[in-house]
Copies of this chain bind each other. A is one copy, B any other.
Amino acid sequence: MNIIKAEQFNLERRIEYGTPEQNDAVHSILAAVRERGDAALREFTEQFDKVRVDDLRVGEEELKAAYAQVDSKFLEALRRAAANIREFHEKQKRVSWFDTAADGTILGQTIKPLGRVGLYVPGGKAAYPSSVLMNAIPAQVAGVREIAMVTPPATAGQAGINPYILVAAAEAGITEIYRVGGAQAIAALAYGTESIRPVDKIVGPGNIYVALAKRYVYGVVDIDSIAGPSEIVVLADDSADAEYVAADLLSQAEHDEMASAILVTTSEPFGRAVAAEVERQLESLPRREIARRSIDERGAILLVDSLEQGVDVINRLAPEHLEIIVPNPFDWLGRIDNAGAVFLGPYSSEPVGDYFAGPNHILPTNGTARFSSPLNVDDFLKKTSVISYSKRALLRDGADIMTLARHEGLEAHARAIEVRLKKEGNEA
Contact = CB atoms under 8 A, between A and B. Distances in A.
Interface in A326-383: 329-330, 333, 336-360, 363-364, 368-374, 376, 378, 382-383
Interface stretch (A38-46, A150-158, A178-186, A404-412): A404-412
B405 A336 contact: no
A113 to B, nearest CB: 9
A415 B107 contact: no
A423 B349 contact: no
Contacts of A302: none
A129 interface: yes
A371 B376 contact: no
Contact of A388 (B107, B348, B387): B348
Contacts of A221: 371
A376 B383 contact: yes
Contact of A349 (B81, B254, B390, B420): B420
Contacts of A222: 368, 371-372
Contact of A99 (B91, B254, B368): B91
A287 B400 contact: no
A136 B281 CA distance: 51
Interface string A240-277: 01011001101101110000000000000000000000
Given A341-B385, A414-B351, A128 B251 contact: no
B164 A407 contact: yes
Interface stretch (A47-55, A57-65, A70-78, A169-177): A70-78
A125 interface: yes
Contacts of A420: 244, 346-347, 349
A385 B363 contact: yes
A8 interface: no
Interface in A51-108: 73-74, 76-78, 80-81, 88, 91-92, 97, 99, 105-107
Given A91-B97, A419-B244, A420-B349, A404 B356 contact: yes
Contact of A411 (B74, B287, B329, B374): B287
Contacts of A384: 336, 339-342, 369, 373-374
Nearest to A201: B371
B97 A397 contact: no
B413 A254 contact: yes
A78 B3 CA distance: 56
Contacts of A401: 77, 351-352, 355-356
Contact of A285 (B336, B390, B408, B412): B412
A386 interface: yes
Nearest to A414: B351
A303 B420 CA distance: 25
Interface of A: 14, 16-17, 73-74, 76-78, 80-81, 88, 91-92, 97, 99, 105-107, 109-110, 112, 114-115, 125, 128-130, 164, 200-201, 215, 218-222, 225-226, 241, 243-244, 247-248, 250-251, 253-255, 281, 285-287, 291, 329-330, 333, 336-360, 363-364, 368-374, 376, 378, 382-391, 393-394, 397, 399-401, 403-405, 407-417, 419-420, 423
Given A92-B109, A355-B413, 13 more contacts: A107-B358, A130-B408, A221-B371, A244-B423, A254-B412, A287-B412, A291-B412, A344-B387, A347-B389, A351-B405, A356-B397, A357-B387, A357-B389
5 contacts: A77-B399, A349-B420, A351-B405, A352-B401, A354-B413
Per CB-CB distance, the 6 closest pairs between chain A and chain B, nearest first, are A359-B385, A341-B385, A77-B400, A373-B383, A222-B371, A344-B388
